[in-house]
Structure 1
């Protein structure tokens, strides 16, 4: 098990969704967490206490796994949440997203529009939280306007270099309360070089 798999196992074991994790050449380990989909849909937001709880466990994990690092940051993914895995796409169908393709299509790589399920994927399966469930997730569609009419582009995850939610400025549509737009709170973790960030969430 590599360090990323260990981080994911720890985060999910604590009852959170691991959105992304990375380690920089300078020794910074950055981890983004979110509430599980059912809690997020009910209005649950990541706060400082959630980040502190995960930070404490990850500090112990990284020490046990002998994973060298200088600093650890745990935070919410923010309003422009990245979409990394199939379960992320399934969760945000109907939301506006921005994608960047690995290879250009019709002369462009970036598209912004509404995420939908590609018709060809209706009978596909996805592994969600370790269990295979029937879900239309083999391929996805983004519906956008080219300035003349609505267009649709179907794509597979392997074709995507990066995908993110488009922030909802009005803080409506993803259950975000207005107060979540305030400046993120920051709290120091147990190590002086570690920090947690309960920034704005979806």
Structure 2
């Protein structure tokens, strides 16, 4: 998260938690004609519903109106994490160890700024990723610009399992003897 997003997250977390929800993280994208402030919320032990997003939006809007942490116009969006859940903190990476994630880095590591990798473990403020089998890459959390889980659509029942690859069979003619 950017400095402004971190500041806003710290400001709004108690309000979201008072609703029995968890503030996963904040994205802030300023723009001259109006930026976007996006909050990702979770509901421990259940799915986030539209009612949760509406309640969080109402309460958070009141805090933002009073504290006014953003100088320009912006649109507030409150969202569930979805199946391609964003990852904001080392604890969130640790929770999803073993899962695949798409990661964008601020500075290249091993010559790469974008990668898809398995989350291996968290060591302090570093995330250990495995972009390829048998190879690990250690990335400082502050070097991660953006990260999202890559959903396993087959496991979620949203895609068919790949067909096993075996010997290819041609459609040749069969000689017949009379």
Flag structure 2 segments of 5+ consecutive residues without an equivalent. Answer: 1-6, 159-178
Contact 1:3 1:65 in 2 (8 A): no
2:81 equivalent among 77, 81, 84: 77
Larger Rg: 2
- Distance across 2 between alignment mates of 1:66 and 1:96: 37
1:150 aligns with 2:134: yes
Of 106, 109, 113, which aligns to 1:109?
Answer: 113
Cα distance in 1 for partners of 2:118, 2:135 equals 11
Moved more, 49-58 or 15-24: 15-24
| Equivalent position of 2:171 in the other structure | none
Are residues 1:15 and 2:23 paired?
A: no
CA 1:53 to 1:108, structure 2 compared with 1: closer, same or farther past 3 Å? Answer: same
The alpha-carbon deviation at position 66 of structure 1 amounts to 4.0
Query: Equivalent of 1:93, from 92, 97, 117?
Result: 97
| Root-mean-square deviation (Å) | 2.5
Distance 1:104 1:45, change over 3 A: same
SS of residue paired to 1:15: coil
Q: Is the 8 A contact 2:109 2:139 kept in 1?
A: no
1:155-174 matches, cutoff 5 A: 155-170=139-154, 172=156
Equivalence map 1:1-202=2 (5 Å): 3-21=8-26, 22=28, 24-25=30-31, 26-36=34-44, 39=45, 44-66=46-68, 69=73, 71-117=75-121, 121=123, 137-145=124-132, 149-170=133-154, 172=156
Q: CA deviation at 1:70?
A: 5.2
Q: Deviations over 1:163-185 (max 9, x none)?
A: 2111222353xxxx86xxxxxxx
How many pairs were matched up?
147
Query: CA 1:105/1:24 → structure 2, altered by over 3 Å: closer, same or farther?
Result: closer
Using the TM superposition, name which of 109-118 and 45-54 deviates more: 109-118
Q: CA deviation at 1:150?
A: 3.0
Q: Which has the higher contact order (CA 8 A, sep 6+)?
A: 1
TM-superposition CA deviations, 1:91-143 (whole Å, max 9, x none): 1111111222222233222221210126xx3xxxxxxxxxxxxxxx4432112
Deviation at 1:23, TM superposition (A): 5.5
